[in-house]
Amino acid sequence: MFNKVNKTYRYFLTQRPFTVGSVPNMDRIVNSKEFMNKSFIPTIGQEAWGYIEYKESLDKDVCKQYELKESYDFSSFLNPKASSIRKVSPFFLEEDENEWVDENRTIIESLSNALRSNFVLVKKEVERVGKIVSEYFVINQSLINIDEFVEELTGKAGIDFGQYNEMYYINLYNDSFTNKIDGEDFSGYDMEKYKFKNIDIANLPSNVSKYILKQIKKDMPIIPLPEIMYEKLI
């Protein structure tokens, strides 16, 4: 049912041009580009001298040492070990639209079948030009079904769906932005990521269950959740 997510890892040189000693593991680089001038890159939200690509990700400490910034890779919003149901790119061409819409329906059905508990835990991450803002909430399925919730979201643009262990992922690709550098377009999408998980309110920590029950009495279909409570449920 699911296909493995394959990708390369792109890192931008934020402080110095590409030279020997300015980047790690030169023998592992599968692609690179040096710009004529230091230029603004939409997918990292800052200027860079160029980029290098690897088949495997670099350690965060290595990136810090060499002052590299990883490109915002849309597929990375799935857990690296997750698998995705989508076959047609979320950046679909017009001729792909019918197939893309069919896959969208399949994605929504799959998520709806997987998330059948009365309450669904959700983490929302909004990515805009390298900055991430997180929100946490619980969906009360007695008032709004998960498929209704997702169908409202998918009116925006592209969607990916993946699964890893007990967590389900949806990626939404929204407004596009592009910067042309040395004849090459560097495009990105503002993006939202949603993580979903079934929860049983009877098995939650008492302070969390009391909080949710209090909000249920207000007939709230979407119950905001403090981050500290969310972390207790993961």
Each residue of 116-171: pLDDT tens digit?
A: 899 999 999 887 655 678 999 999 999 999 888 877 765 545 567 777 777 888 77
What is the predicted pLDDT for the residue at 210?
93
CA angle 226, 193, 103 (to 5 degrees): 140
**Is pLDDT of 20 > 50?**
yes
Closest CA to 86 of 100, 70, 76, 68: 100
Lowest mean pLDDT among 140-144, 169-173, 192-196, 221-225: 169-173
Asked whether the predicted pLDDT for residue 232 surpasses 50, the reply is yes
Confidence at 81, pLDDT banded by 50, 70, 90? low
In this structure, the chain runs to a length of 234
Rounded Cα distance between 8 and 200, Å, is: 38
Of 78, 58, 62, 59, nearest to 4 by C-alpha is 78
Three-state SS string across 176-194, please?
A: EEEEEECCEEEEEEEEEEE
